[in-house]
Amino acid sequence: MATMLAQTSFKFYSFIFLFMVFFHHCTCDVVQLDKNNVDVILNNNQLVFVNFYADWCRFSRMLAPIFEEGSNLVKKDYPDPGMVVFAKVDCDSQPDIAQKYHVNKYPTMKLFRGGQLVKREYRGQRSAENLADFIRQQLKDPIKEFQSLDEIYELQRDKRTIIGYFTTKDSLEYNVFARVAKLLKDDCQFYVGFGEASKAERTTGDNIIFKPIGETNPDMVYLGSLANEDLLKQWSQDKCVPLVREITFANGEELTEEGLPFLILFHNKEDTESMEKYSAEVSRLVSFKSSINFLFADCETFSHPLHHLGKTVKDCPLVAIDSFKHMYLFPKFEDISQPGKLKQFILDLHSGKLHREFHHGPDQPAATTAPPTPKINSRQVETETPKSEAETQSEETSPPESIFKNLKPSEHRYTLRDRDEL
């Protein structure tokens, strides 16, 4: 009898021990995303905070328990389903997801709001409390309510501002406005007035207006349906986030925080023609807006990056990509208007072709006909064809180091996706 009791007791306490171990290490609060559930999770939660990681990366392993603890803290504050989800993506087993969101270092933390990627990735301190506070800030109402139009008339014009005038707070039109404001809270400031406070503006039909930076710049009125969320979002994005922005030393840090590579036109201020050509081509590349920043810079101000590229102010205008690791020069500015040329330059960055060709020369196209007078050995086919100019240059150069990475606000250590680069 004593033996049976001892065995029963042993099994009971063994079960308790195993349960506690499992519970302690359980990551069930952090949802594992894959191709089967990623769209459902992103589209059915107000906020989804995603940790893109790789098991072989020691920095990913260091972050994992911190990320889980941050999830537990947020869960206590916002327990309701559909509010906030912490999730993770194993980039080795889910490369399509990682590629879709342009993850090129591990770990990378990105935020999705209503299924849409927020442009700026998380670059704050990696502690559970900081992660939780980041989410708390994201859930704050970004809209400021005014009680008198005098508050609007006296606004400082130093920030892009969108103002809504509505009858009541529970109207369909305001709910659409509020969702758009949450999506663009980092790019514009939003104000709203209800009832009598906004009546004077509503009677003229100006329910939503945009006030650009600068006292002399005219207001712009939204003329679309107030109930059409997609239309209002597109209009607001165009106003709050210009497709082409100027980079200066004042805003450089903020732009680097968005985590996107730079496509930069270096030109002289008085050279408006190159700016018009560049803007015209970039306007055809709107679909790349979430994966690269379209910028322009004054050649005199940024003469050091030009020098880094082997160029001077006299060589302007020119276009380059800064990936925050290397800089790549667009071959000839005169070719910018050739259909598809600038688009291919961006695609070659994301595919790794720019980096690869700088180190190893141009990719060789698959042979469709037999090469003239071949000399064949067991490893390669050589011809007597002279080397092209591009091949010669590729042997003599390597991609210059990034200059704009020096504008980043702080240094965080990552593991690069291409482990050969370590």
Domains of the chain, residue spans:
24-138, 143-240, 245-363+374-421
Burial class (CB in 10 A: 0-12, 13-18, 19+), 358: middle
Please, which residues have CB within 8 angstroms of residue 378's CB and are 6 or more apart in sequence? Answer: none
What is the pTM assigned to this prediction?
0.57
Per-residue model confidence (pLDDT) at position 376: 38
User: How would you write the pLDDT of the chain (422 residues) with one tens digit per residue?
Assistant: 555 545 545 444 444 443 343 333 334 589 999 999 999 999 999 999 999 999 999 999 999 999 999 999 999 999 999 999 999 999 999 999 998 988 878 899 999 998 988 877 888 889 999 999 999 999 989 999 999 999 999 999 989 999 999 999 999 999 999 999 988 988 899 999 999 999 888 877 789 999 998 888 899 999 999 999 999 998 998 899 888 989 988 788 778 867 789 999 999 999 999 999 999 999 999 889 888 999 999 999 999 889 888 999 999 999 999 998 889 999 999 999 999 999 999 999 988 888 888 766 676 665 554 445 444 343 333 333 444 444 444 444 567 888 787 766 444 445 655 443 32
Question: How far is Cα 334 from Cα 261, in angstroms, rounded to an integer?
Answer: 23
Please, which residues have CB within 8 angstroms of residue 367's CB and are 6 or more apart in sequence? Answer: 381
Q: Does domain 245-363+374-421 have CATH number 3.80.30.10?
A: no
Question: How far is Cα 166 from Cα 159, in angstroms, rounded to an integer?
Answer: 22
How is domain 143-240 classified at the CATH fold level? Glutaredoxin (3.40.30)
The answer to whether the CB of 67 falls within 8 A of the CB of 88 is yes
Q: Tell me which amino acid residue 303 is.
A: S
How is domain 24-138 classified at the CATH fold level? Glutaredoxin (3.40.30)
The answer to whether the CB of 100 falls within 8 A of the CB of 350 is no
Question: Helices 229-240 and 172-183 meet at what angle, rounded to 10?
Answer: 40
- Phi first, then psi: what are they for 297, rounded to 5°? -145, 150
Rg of the chain over CA atoms, in angstroms?
27
Tell me whether domains 143-240 and 245-363+374-421 share a fold. yes
Collapsing DSSP to helix, strand or coil, 85 comes out as: strand
